[in-house]
A and B are shown apart, each in its own frame.
Chain A
């Protein structure tokens, strides 16, 4: 009876480890995908910031300022 218990326990543990491994693998894949998504989003936001910075540069550079001064 005792050996049967041991056998069932070993099988249970083995199965649990397998399931956990599969879960970890899936979680790893998911996290990696999230990382890729966040990197892409960060890159997009950086580009948006760059675009705004360029627009600002277009407004405050010496040529634009001189033009505005000439107009007034």
Chain B
């Protein structure tokens, strides 16, 4: 064996051992390192998992538990709302004149709670709105509402643009109702409140149609709150417009004439109606005293009442033609038959004493003469002949004792007691207009029936509904009447013969016109005493109903003047007080209708 070779072998073995021991050290070291990094990894992942778990919990909290809260917050931030109040419908007369309309009015207001220095804001605003700075300053400082104080209503667009730029000042726009004709048709139109709701007249009757429906648009807004996309929209629908049968020009004639007569005779109130007998359309309806619909606050509440439809009274002699028509229609009396009028004194068992107005002493009179001279005794005798059941039925058919159904709120029914409860007095008093209460609109309807050849007539005020572009969307005219209340020949005879005589020779001579043949009937009703039985000898209702031309009546006019002042000595009867007004109204209306 070679020694060198042995040594080298030992050396190599030693080196081998060293290498082995070194590699063992390295492997043990790397084992330690591996163990450490595994721990870190585990820790890292554990933390990561914990973090994700926490995140998941947070997400769960936000997404499920607080979802509605954050959705609301988010929606509030992203969305902007725009409310739209509808424009109330316009009301026009039959020729398209505006009687009532809504328009937006701008109001400049201040928000006192955010204005730090009112004196500076007031100075800035004063030059814009033409109100002194001191006044504005006082308004802001003394306002009880910290969120709103009105500075100027009805501001123009330039003022609004300039005022809106001042901090603490805002502009609000709201609908305002305008009545360009003022009090001309106040009782017909009525008025509406600040909340766009009709409170009286046509405004109340057709409130649902005039009002429209409010709308709301929801927009997505950008960072500057500018709308960028429509998210939801409830369309705002403006109210529909109404076309009335009223003619503002005729209404003006009527109101002017009635006011003048009221003033001249010192009357308490007055009513006048002009109607078209063929259709029942009301061309004018005036009730005095009236009111300004734009200034309701200062109006006497008593003046708000439309006396033409709500006041009922004993009509007096004006009812006689209706009863005469019933008598002729039922055949209890002939046109040329004479009735003895008892020389002014008629009394009997069960109906007391009846006299003639003015102490007249009439003898034998035909029905035509009874109407011409307005004999109470003649009418009482006719009433007895008709009988209570026929008379009740006839008056009911003429529409007494029930509403006419005119499109206005607050209409009274009048009073026509059932025939069963009538006494001997009723049968003799109702024929000359006592023991029965009627409204002016009922009377005009009854005479429209006579002037319309006995066909029923339905009075109405609204002829059509129109949209915002003026297109007719619904016609409101009542359907043509079927049948007759009385025979056409009877109605025709009453109008063209008996009532023409009243104007030509009888009590209504002051209503005669040169150009047209007028028919009419006077009525002077005594007012019942309120504290005891009987009638006042100082308080009267002077009425006159007229129509023309008698052959083909175009209009029927009723004028009723309440309590003319007797002490003036100018008269108080229908023929003196009401007939001249009716004649002037007829003349002007017929001339106007002829030219237009």
> Which residues from chain A sit less than 8 Å from chain B, CB to CB?
28-30, 32-33, 36, 44, 47-48, 50-51, 53-54, 57-58, 61-63, 66
Contact = CB atoms under 8 A, between A and B. Distances in A.
B251 interface: yes
B86 to A, nearest CB: 13
Which of A51, A58, A61 has the largest number of chain B CB atoms within 10 A?
A61
B222 A29 contact: yes
A40 B97 CA distance: 28
Given A44-B157, A62-B252, A54 B180 contact: yes
Contacts of A66: 252, 256
B251 A47 contact: no
A29 B229 contact: yes
Contacts of A63: 181-182, 184, 248, 252
A47 to B, nearest CB: 5
B98 interface: yes
B104 A47 contact: yes
B139 interface: no
A67 to B, nearest CB: 10
A28 B249 CA distance: 54
Interface in B75-104: 97-98, 101, 103-104
A19 B335 CA distance: 99
Nearest to B106: A47
Interface string B410-421: 000000000000
B229 to A, nearest CB: 6
Top 5 A-B pairs, shortest CB-CB distance: A29-B228, A62-B252, A57-B180, A57-B98, A58-B180
Interface of B: 97-98, 101, 103-104, 157, 178, 180-182, 184, 219, 222, 226-230, 248-249, 251-252, 256
Given A51-B103, A63-B182, 20 more contacts: A29-B222, A32-B230, A33-B222, A33-B226, A36-B219, A36-B227, A50-B101, A50-B103, A50-B104, A53-B98, A54-B98, A54-B178, A57-B180, A58-B180, A61-B180, A62-B248, A63-B181, A63-B184, A63-B252, A66-B252
Contacts of A51: 103
A32 B228 contact: yes
Residue in B101, B228, B230 whose Cβ sees the most chain A Cβ within 10 Å: B228
Nearest to B160: A44
A53 B180 CA distance: 10
Contacts of B97: 57, 61-62
A6 B157 CA distance: 60
B252 A33 contact: no
A28 B180 CA distance: 44
B226 to A, nearest CB: 5
A48 B181 CA distance: 20
B181 A54 contact: no
A61 B181 contact: yes
Nearest to B247: A62
A29 B221 CA distance: 9
Majority SS at the chain B contact face: mixed
Contacts of B251: 62
Nearest to A55: B180
A46 to B, nearest CB: 9
B180 A47 contact: no
A19 B308 CA distance: 74
A47 B103 contact: yes
Contacts of A28: 228-229
A54 B228 contact: no
Given A36-B227, A57-B98, A62 B184 contact: yes
Nearest to B101: A54
B449 to A, nearest CB: 30
A44 B104 CA distance: 9
Nearest to A40: B82
Contacts of B227: 32-33, 36
Contacts of A30: 228
8 contacts: A33-B226, A44-B157, A61-B98, A61-B181, A61-B184, A62-B251, A62-B252, A63-B181
A29 B228 CA distance: 4
B228 A33 contact: yes
B586 to A, nearest CB: 18
Nearest to B226: A33
**Of listed A28, A63, A66, residue having the most chain B CB within 10 A:** A63
A66 B181 CA distance: 12
Given A53-B98, A57-B98, A62 B229 contact: no
A62 B181 contact: yes
Contacts of B252: 62-63, 66
Contacts of A58: 180
Contacts of A32: 227-230
A62 B95 CA distance: 12
Nearest to B222: A29
| Residue from A29, A51, A62 having most chain B Cβ neighbours under 10 A | A62
A48 B249 contact: no
A61 B184 CA distance: 10
Contacts of B180: 54, 57-58, 61
Contacts of A57: 97-98, 101, 180
A62 B182 CA distance: 11
Contacts of B229: 28-29, 32
B174 to A, nearest CB: 11
B59 to A, nearest CB: 28
A71 B488 CA distance: 48
